[in-house]
Amino acid sequence: MQAKRQLQHLKPYKPGKNVEDVQEELGLTKIVKLASNENPFGCSEAVKRAIEKEMSELAVYPDGYATVLREKTAHFLNVGTENLIFGDGSDEVIQMICRAYLTADDNTVMAAPTFPQYKHNAVVEGAEIREVPVRDGRHDLERMIEAIDEKTKIVWLCMVNNPSGEYIRDKELASFLSQVPEKVLVVCDEAYYEYVVADDYPDTLSFMNEHRNLVITRTFSKAYGLAALRVGYGIANTSVIAAIESVRQPFNTSRIGQLAAAAALEDQPFIDHCRKLNREGLEKFYRFCRRHELTYYPSQGNFILIDFARSGDEIYDYLLRKGYIVRSGTALGYPNAVRITIGSEDENDDIIEHLQHYFQHQTQ
């Protein structure tokens, strides 16, 4: 039996190595995973208290509309409840957008390298993929505009681009949106929104009234520290949300996920704390890179892409043996680089010390 033709060359998503496998493989006692941009500080204590209470309700289906979370998020963002859609992570929001909008007659425009799920889901729908190479890790918005034609349905902007960590400036976004035809959906993926500190990072929500083709995706997986519970969301005008809602599974977010996300949203001091520590960690990595004259991308996310001017796999293997799982750039479109999630202070110091040793050893 033959599956869809476009699936023949599509590989399932390959996550970073998991801790248990590496532990067994290398016989290490302590393993730290800094490969998937998770929050090294976990989640708010308020979340743990909130979900404990839900344990007696596990036999009951969740509220498919996620009413409580919806109302809290709408209030927090100052948008209408009907401007939101919740997903099984923002991964699912991306999937639902593709499902609702793309057909084999359409094309979709995105940067390369960028977050792979835009391409993956668009391929599943049979759409033509138009990839525009990034310049110094940044979206080449002029060329992305040029790539749009009458068959373009969606343009993807990875606002803090994964894997580079680079971002789209407010003036750039304003100019871009004013040039994109109204019937083309522009999806701004803001998975790392809570980590951003740049003054000229756009207030994407403020563009929504003027640009009714704008969709913003965000997540509780990163700074909120709830990756295991899989809750992400999309923000858009009501007609776009209605279209995406029609492809949503009835109970796509879990009871515990909804409750945890609602509690997490209320603890903004936790987010501020994580943003600050993340920035301090990034600065340490910057200093390390400058000391060793390594090229790196300044990051607005909770990860850093460092060009080691040698195979990323080599650095990856070295760090793995020291108990750190990072992400080799080989699979991310940067074969000489490694992407490292910013960890706790001790983890950052330790990994930097290992890299320091690596370089000393190399130059002897």
Helix (H, G, I), strand (E, B) or coil at 360: helix
* 121 vs 288 by CB, closer to ligand PMP: 121
Interface stretch with ligand PMP, choices 89-97, 251-259, 262-270, 315-323 (CB under 6 A): 89-97
248's tokens: 């949503």
Q: Which of residues 257-276 bind ligand PMP (CB under 6 A)?
A: none
- Report the nearest approach of ligand PMP to the CB of residue 224 (Å): 10
221, 237, 328, 348: residue in contact with ligand PMP (rule CB under 6 A) = 221
- Report the nearest approach of ligand PMP to the CB of residue 277 (Å): 19
38, 91, 125, 347: residue in contact with ligand PMP (rule CB under 6 A) = 91
162, 164, 252, 278: residue in contact with ligand PMP (rule CB under 6 A) = 162
- Report the nearest approach of ligand PMP to the CB of residue 90 (Å): 3
- Report the nearest approach of ligand PMP to the CB of residue 159 (Å): 8
Does the footprint of ligand PMP cover residue 16 (CB under 6 A)? no
Does the footprint of ligand PMP cover residue 232 (CB under 6 A)? yes
- Report the nearest approach of ligand PMP to the CB of residue 350 (Å): 24
33, 34, 97, 115: residue in contact with ligand PMP (rule CB under 6 A) = 115
Binding mask 141-160 for ligand PMP (x = CB under 6 A): -----------------x--
- Report the nearest approach of ligand PMP to the CB of residue 189 (Å): 5
Select the residue whose beta carbon is closest to ligand PMP and give its number: 89
Does the footprint of ligand PMP cover residue 174 (CB under 6 A)? no
DSSP track, 1-60: ----GGGTTPPPP-PPPPHHHHHHHHT-S--EE-SS---TT---HHHHHHHHGGGGGTTS
Q: Which of residues 33-52 bind ligand PMP (CB under 6 A)?
A: 37
1: β partners: none
- CA distance linking residue 306 with residue 295, whole number of Å: 6
* 226 vs 240 by CB, closer to ligand PMP: 226
For 49-87, letters b (16+ CB in 10 Å) and e give: ebbeebeeeeeeebeeebeebbebbbeebebeeebbbbb
Does the footprint of ligand PMP cover residue 90 (CB under 6 A)? yes
Type and span of the H or E element at 131: strand 128-133
31, 144, 191, 256: residue in contact with ligand PMP (rule CB under 6 A) = 191
C-alpha pair distances (Å), 277 with each of 90, 157, 222, 281, 311: 24, 26, 14, 6, 30
Size of the site for ligand PMP (CB under 6 A): 13
DSSP track, 150-218: TTEEEEEEESB-TTT--B--HHHHHHHHHHS-TTSEEEEE-TTGGG---TTS--GGGGTTT-TTEEEEE
Q: Which of residues 304-343 bind ligand PMP (CB under 6 A)?
A: none
219, 254, 278, 336: residue in contact with ligand PMP (rule CB under 6 A) = 219
What's the first-to-final CA gap in the chain, in angstroms?
59
DSSP track, 291-343: HTT-EE---SSSEEEEE-SS-HHHHHHHHHHTTEE-EEGGGGT-TTEEEEE--
61's tokens: 């289906």
- Report the nearest approach of ligand PMP to the CB of residue 286 (Å): 21
- Report the nearest approach of ligand PMP to the CB of residue 89 (Å): 3
Residue 90 near residue 80 (C-beta atoms within 8 A): no
Does the footprint of ligand PMP cover residue 227 (CB under 6 A)? yes
Q: Cα–Cα–Cα angle for 56, 60, 65, nearest 5°? A: 120
- CA distance linking residue 105 with residue 153, whole number of Å: 10
- Report the nearest approach of ligand PMP to the CB of residue 222 (Å): 7
Does the footprint of ligand PMP cover residue 89 (CB under 6 A)? yes
Q: Contact positions toward ligand PMP, by CB under 6 A?
A: 37, 89-91, 115, 158, 162, 189, 191, 219, 221, 227, 232
